[in-house]
A and B are shown apart, each in its own frame.
Chain A
Amino acid sequence: MDLKEILESIGGAGNAVNTAAALGLGTAGLALAEKGYSDLGDIGERAYAGLAGEGGLAEQLSGMLEFQPYTVTSATGGQFGMTQDPTTGQMTYQMATSPEEQALQQQTLANAGMFFNQAAMPVDQREQDIFQRMRTAMSPEEERQRLEMEQRMAAQGRLGVRTAQFGGTPEQLALAKAQEEARNTAMLNAMQFAGQEQQRQAQLGTGMLSAGYVPQAQLLSALQPGMTAAERQRQSLSEQAGAYGQTYASGLQGLLSSALGQANIAGGVGGNITRAALGGLFG
């Protein structure tokens, strides 16, 4: 509510001047008071403008505290960087290992895939392959044993022996059992070996997979010092901005305090005059 409205509330609508005039020196004092009042408003505007207005402290601090993109380059050539969309401000981070590391990574990941594929394969065929290889290794000795047995049986005139109890001779049964046990053992070993091999392939795949991400991990590890440096820089800038803001605000505070004093003075003078002029009117 401005002074006129105040006066019109006093003297009725459209009677502010009359009221003021009637009040004598009331007008001059009122003008002065109005001026002090208006100054206070200006001071507020100035404070707002100084702190939040365009080019104000907030804007300046905003510029001062804005994120500063940075890049990190590892010792092996890996790089970490970032870009900001000028329109949306969206940040985009790029991380790139060196070509050698990429090749290594591709190779290891490919190997990991290969091992995983192998580990994922059914083991029965592998078991059979291993069993056949074991049998191939065992067969010559078994053949030698069989020939020795045959020779011994022939020397003892027992090649033609057939028994209900043993099938052939006890020795032939023993050899057959031994060979069959060896065969069974080989089969079980083949199964066990194939399982272990599958597990080992999975482990190798895992290892390869892990190894494939080592350059990236190393790059990420290499980021830490860069990020620390950037953070320190950001902290420094933040501290600078804080100091600037405090200083700016202090200056503005002083200015506002001065203006507020001036306005208080004008308002006080005007008030006194008015009280004096309007004292008779209402007195």
Chain B
Amino acid sequence: MAQEIKSITLVAPAFKGINTEDSPLAQDPSFAESADNAIIDKRGRIAARKGLSVLTTDKTELGTGNLRAIKEFRDNLGNTKIFSVGNNKILSGTTVLADETPGSYTITSDNWKIVNFNDNVYFFQRGYEPLVYNNTGGAVVKLSTVAGAAGVVAAMYGNEVLAAYGRLWTADFTTDKSTVYWSDLLIGHDWTGGTSGSINLSKVWPDGFDEIVALAAHNNLLIIFGKHSIVVYEGADSPATMRLVDTIAGVGCVDRDTVQYTGTDVLFLSQTGLRSFGRTVQEKSMPMSSLSGTITTDIIRLIRETGEIFRSVYHPEESFYLITFTNQAITFCFDVRGTLENGAYRVTRWPGTGFTCYGRKDNGDLLIGSRFGIGQYTGYKDNSLPYRFKYFSPELTFGDASKLKFLKRLRPTLVGGSGADAIFTWSYDFGTLFSSAEVGIRSQGRSDFNLSEYPVYSELSGYGISSTGDVDIGEVVVVNKFLGDFTSAPTIGSGGGALLEGDSYFDTAADIFYVYISSAFVDLDTLVPASVGEFSDGELVSRNAINANGSGSTITIGLEADINGHELSIQDINVLALIGKTL
């Protein structure tokens, strides 16, 4: 007897990111087994990350080294200057990296932390006399050479520095891991006069002993991260009277460069994964849940790597937090727009990027350091080269793991990826031997002004929604928020959220294109074009079908594509499978 072909649509697959913690069989298809060089885009889809557009054209001073830190200096007069460190030098500039290392100052390590403070930029690294730059002097100089400098001695050559509450704070010294020093008010070079001071935490650690790793300022609190605990002081704007308000045992910070501010919270990497300070304070102590709960094992394994160099950045414009294990060339991208049911951020992985440091400019540009110098997170190439976007689903059971499935056809809806060759792969029953089929995505045409036209509907334009299509045949190809093909009206919108005005879908049963207007799906043909607009090419959507083969009780579907100048995201994957006998 002929068996029914079952159509299953994986809407916005992997929009929950990677999950390597739960059993593959029990997983929601919204998770991904692998999502490399991917992000969760603003529509809630898994998409290729942006690339590295290298700005540096002359990296002679950097040589073959990697940049290890980037910081944009800014002062009240609006002067700016990009500083970076690498190849045991202090560098400046973006296109040409200039050596700013002070004379007779020997550097053998590039683990600097750079902060802006009161029209100066300060460089701190353990065991090195701090350096300072301001626009008036125009050169990076040793802190002790600044007029009025006091107390600049080896005891305060800290590895961590924080500019907060009108002072510089430093900690993590060569032989002293329990003391925090703070400078005089608004004077970053005075460490013994005025209202400067120090606090020794050796009698404060909740576990009896710890070592300071990082400092942070948040919500009028001074947060002192140890390796295994956190102590929190309030009233740090007057450090002589600041007092302990909280201690958290069992949760510490791995490295100072994992701490990032999100405006409403502080993110940091603990020994058990990514944590937020706010939630840690709420939950106290042991990591009941972490922001990296879907990749806990993976991230712990990476953290345990000896001598790992961590770099991170929070980028509100892209809504992600990046944490890079530079020695292992792994970056995890945490989408901070929202959390999953278990409280974790949606996470994707960027392997082998070569990114070694980050810096966010005041204008929102994300600068990325690498062996190529300074680049910017933009475009869809890595230093003019393509990079591989990869998605693999968890094991799909189609609701019944006991029945045999014959994969007949895959019909993915891909957005973007102009000219790319997308390779779809599938395997059965946890196998590592994948079948594959290549899909060539058409090159997106260059639309010239006044040549392509599309209908502008008054009902849509009122919502500021664009539409594309071929006005000659009266067909709308895409309305801005196309949800996919359905046999009946979908009840959830893009990314699993509520339906929004302008969401559209194609009813495969009725062969009607519907658009969501005023809380109801309306046949697009019933709308009257108010005018005919003209456009340059919009989003490219590909819906190529792939004939598949083989059988098994569970199926893994994958997609790999080289990103070479064009964005690519997976809107959905329609799977046609024949359900067979029970095994």
Residue numbers of A with Cβ under 8 A of B are 154-166, 169-171
Contacts and interface: CB of A to CB of B under 8 A. Distances in A.
B196 interface: yes
A242 B55 CA distance: 150
B532 to A, nearest CB: 71
Interface string B304-343: 0000000000000000000000000000000000000000
Nearest to A163: B197
Contact of A160 (B192, B195, B202, B247): B202
In the A-B complex, the 9 residue pairs with the smallest Cβ-Cβ separation, listed nearest first, are: A160-B200, A157-B244, A163-B197, A156-B243, A157-B204, A163-B240, A161-B199, A164-B196, A160-B199
A55 B418 CA distance: 176
Contacts of A160: 178-179, 198-204
B538 interface: no
Contacts, number: 61
Interface in B184-220: 184, 192-204
B231 interface: yes
Contacts of B201: 157, 160
B203 A169 contact: no
B233 A164 contact: no
Contact of A165 (B194, B202, B204): B194
Q: Could you tell me the dominant secondary structure of chain B's interface residues? A: loop
B241 interface: yes
B197 A161 contact: yes
A163 B239 contact: yes
A164 B199 contact: no
Given A164-B196, A165-B194, A166-B240, 20 more contacts: A157-B231, A157-B233, A157-B247, A158-B242, A158-B244, A159-B204, A160-B178, A160-B179, A160-B203, A160-B204, A161-B197, A161-B199, A161-B200, A163-B198, A163-B239, A164-B193, A165-B195, A165-B240, A169-B241, A170-B240
Contacts of B243: 156-158
25 contacts: A154-B203, A156-B243, A157-B201, A157-B243, A157-B244, A158-B199, A158-B244, A159-B200, A159-B204, A160-B178, A160-B198, A160-B202, A160-B203, A160-B204, A161-B200, A162-B198, A162-B199, A163-B195, A163-B196, A164-B193, A165-B194, A165-B240, A166-B240, A169-B241, A170-B240
Of the four ranges (under 10, 10 to 19, 20 to 34, 35 or more), the interface on chain B belongs to 20 to 34
A166 B239 CA distance: 12
Contacts of B198: 160-163
Contacts of A170: 240-241
A164 B192 contact: yes
A164 B195 contact: yes
A276 to B, nearest CB: 148
Interface in B218-255: 231, 233, 239-244, 247
A170 B197 CA distance: 12
Contacts of B184: 164
Contacts of B241: 169-171
Nearest to B190: A164
Contacts of A161: 197-200, 239-240
Contacts of A156: 243-244
Contacts of B204: 157, 159-160
Contacts of A163: 195-198, 239-240
